[in-house]
Amino acid sequence: MPQVGLPAFADDLASALESIGAALVDIPVIQPAEPFLDMAGEDLRRRIFLTESETGESLCLRPEFTIPVCRAHIAENVGTPRRYSYLGKVFRQRRDGSSEFFQAGVEDLGETDEAASDARALSEARELVSNFTSAPALAVTLGDQSVFEAVVAGLGLPAGWQKRLIHAFGNEQALDAMIARLANPDGAAQPDATVAGFLASSDSAGLQAHVESVMQSTGYSTHASRSPAEIAARLIEKQALASTRLSPESLDALKTFLALDVPLDRAAQALSDFAARAGLDIDAAQASFEARLAALSGRGEDLAAIRWRAAFGRPLDYYTGLVFEIAAGKGGPVLAGGGRYDRLMTLLGAQDPIPAVGFSLWLDRIETVRAGK
């Protein structure tokens, strides 16, 4: 059945997606909400439309396609590599006030040559946008979640802080706040005096007994929440994180990295120079980064026309490596975006790890550019 409101170029776009070997799939509009709430990221979670089934299951209107396409692949238990495409309406609140719009895209599952499949995703997205907009100058921006993770790990932060920083990647405001917090931890909220005493003396047994006593005196059921041992362990972890301070050298290194913003043909050298000056061993991430550059060059992409920003990420929690977006010129609307999400398939229930990369096109924005508005 034709979808009401599809742009006039949608049929040609569907044919173009089929022509690059990505079979068009049909994804139901009503989806279980849990995978999106668990894995899609805070930015999307705030904007999805929730409902319930007759049995009380939490459902939502389809807010994006990547998660349901991956779930469908796992459910069908088919082999890889396999490429899927989609074209349909998604439902989520946007900052411009709209709540329904059309997306199309490709999910590339199971291709073991990461550099080649990364390059193909970015290149195909750029070609499709270019072909369907005739935009004179597209602005392509690239980032890399895995490089950021390697830098954060190299700074020697506790695992809890690494997780927090990685979770904030792509959210500039949240990341800036965390870096400020690491520079000056003294402003953190303090526990009450009794708890603080146990923490100061590293008396975990005493802290656990205190938590258990408080729970019993307040009637807080130990069967309906975390155990006293779990709560005590969490308090100890929070105290350790609260007292962590980045050295001036590490803080400067992190800020220097996040400030890197160069044409992609100069990115490998900029990254190498940074790692040498900071004394960080990020060789594995650098090698993957450079392999992707070579694959993009091999596809004929002009690296000088693509921008690498070390701080660039996309506000979805499942990305693990390459992230990119394509806009209608500098400062223009974003027409496409995508990236690598290798961990998502196992989180959704795949028995074995499945490498994955994909991209989405925003059809309403493409239509606006086509109309010259």
β 23-24/82-91 pair status: parallel
Instruction: Give strand pairing partners of 141.
Output: 307, 325
Residue keyed to tokens 């900071």: 278
For residue 230, the model assigns a pLDDT of 72
H or E segment at 309? strand 306-309
Per-position DSSP letters for 214-226, written without gaps between them: HHHHHT--TTSS-
CATH class of the region 139-171+247-327: alpha beta
- How far is 101 from 362, CA to CA, in rounded Å? 8
Residue keyed to tokens 């991956």: 70
161-170, 228-237, 323-332: least confident range: 228-237
Burial code (b: 16+ CB inside 10 Å, e: under 16) for 9-45 equals: bbeebbebbeeeebeebebeeebebebbeebbbeebb
Of how many residues is the chain composed?
Answer: 373
**Continuous H helices in the chain:** 10-19, 34-39, 42-45, 66-76, 114-133, 145-154, 159-168, 172-183, 193-200, 204-218, 228-242, 248-258, 267-278, 283-298, 344-347, 363-370
Domain regions of the chain by residue span: 1-134+331-373, 139-171+247-327, 186-242
E strands within 66-110? 82-91, 100-109
- How far is 115 from 286, CA to CA, in rounded Å? 12
Same fold yes or no, 1-134+331-373 and 139-171+247-327: yes
Which amino acid is residue 241, in one-letter code? L
Residue keyed to tokens 């802080």: 161
* 175's tokens: 């990341």
Q: What pLDDT, in 10s, does the model give residues 198-218?
A: 555 666 777 677 767 777 776
Residue keyed to tokens 């927090």: 164
- How far is 170 from 322, CA to CA, in rounded Å? 12
CA atoms within 13 A on the CB side of 342: 14
- Does 189 have pLDDT greater than 80? no
For residue 224, the model assigns a pLDDT of 46
Least Cα distance to 292 among 120, 116, 131, 142 occurs for 116
Q: What pLDDT, in 10s, does the model give residues 304-318?
A: 999 999 999 987 788
CATH superfamily of 1-134+331-373: Bira Bifunctional Protein; Domain 2 (3.30.930.10)
- Does 278 have pLDDT greater than 90? yes
Least Cα distance to 132 among 304, 336, 272, 321 occurs for 336
Q: For 133-156, what is the mean pLDDT?
A: 90
Residue 331 φ then ψ, to 5° = 80, 0
pTM for this model (two decimals): 0.82
Given a contact cutoff of 8 angstroms between Cβ atoms, the answer to whether 50 and 33 are in contact is yes
What percent of the chain has a predicted confidence (pLDDT) above 90? 59
Q: What pLDDT, in 10s, does the model give residues 91-142?
A: 998 877 789 999 999 999 999 999 999 999 999 999 999 999 976 689 999 9
